[in-house]
Amino acid sequence: MNAYIFPGQGAQFSGMGLDLYENSPLAQELFEEANKILGFNITDIMFEGSAEDLKETKVTQPAIFLHSVILAKTLGDSFKPDMVAGHSLGEFSALVASGALTFEDGLKLVSKRAQAMQKACERQPSTMAAVLGLDDAVVEKICDETPGVVVAANYNCPGQLVISGEVEAVNKACEALTEAGARRALVLPVGGAFHSPMMEPARQELAAAIENTSFNVPNCPIYQNVTASAVTDVAEIKGNLISQLTAPVRWTQSVQSMIADGASLFIEVGPGKVLQGLVKKIDRSAETTSATLEQ
């Protein structure tokens, strides 16, 4: 069974999507439509902007979404997912690729999400840190025992967990995690504490937009970050999508569920190969590849 997986923030690179634009009339049409929907030429930033330009949250999230979704659409008949999943932002790409959301609605929600997250980040200083080489249970226990807001945010693969919360609490947790034997506990250069209670204002703002958007039953199950299980029910998809901003990304558990349900090949759709690396760390026997434009 083929599992198509869609990357999240951090996968962006300068020049992303240009090959699609130059080699596919459909891709060109969709990129131009995206410029109109967003009200600015995101293609200029994607194709010619610097790494710094691409780092801006209002650009990064739509850029990665567009690269993934437009690539999926150019695959035509060869795009036959038995199941899909996306890491954080990638969940929106997965929902559009599987037919649960239209291209336009998906892009509008991603743009809204990026702006709402940016506002939440500006409201109160917060951060995230990568923790390597400790069991999840140890990391969770130390987060629970640390004063202030700090939680497990991204379960990326065994021995790689990202924590998220208030700057001081994250720094204190990093010290305790290092003492507990973490190979590394490193504060990340991110705008704020994604997938933590600090994103509650953004969650509320995005919830209203999601509630007012019409969703369809996807043409295959989507393994959502919040539950790490197969979902096809529209109401459930919406609820999980709303919870996602303040809940952890259970990527390890999602991949394990997909394998248990018969996934034999993981195809990454979008920029980079980060997710393929994580899948291999979760299960060394899993096959992985990148989706490429059909010439």
Residue 6, SS3 per DSSP: strand
Annotated catalytic, 195? yes
- Determine the Cα–Cα distance for residues 227 and 241; give it in Å rounded to an integer: 10
Catalytic residue among 88, 98, 111, 126: 88
Q: Which two tokens stand for residue 228?
A: 């790490």
Residue 26, SS3 per DSSP: helix
Catalytic residue among 164, 195, 196, 254: 195
- Determine the Cα–Cα distance for residues 192 and 127; give it in Å rounded to an integer: 4
The total of other beta-carbon atoms located within 10 Å of residue 40's CB is 12
Of 184, 185, 189, whose CA–CA distance to 169 is shortest? 185
For 198, which DSSP code?
Answer: G
For 285, which DSSP code?
Answer: T
Active site residues: 88, 195
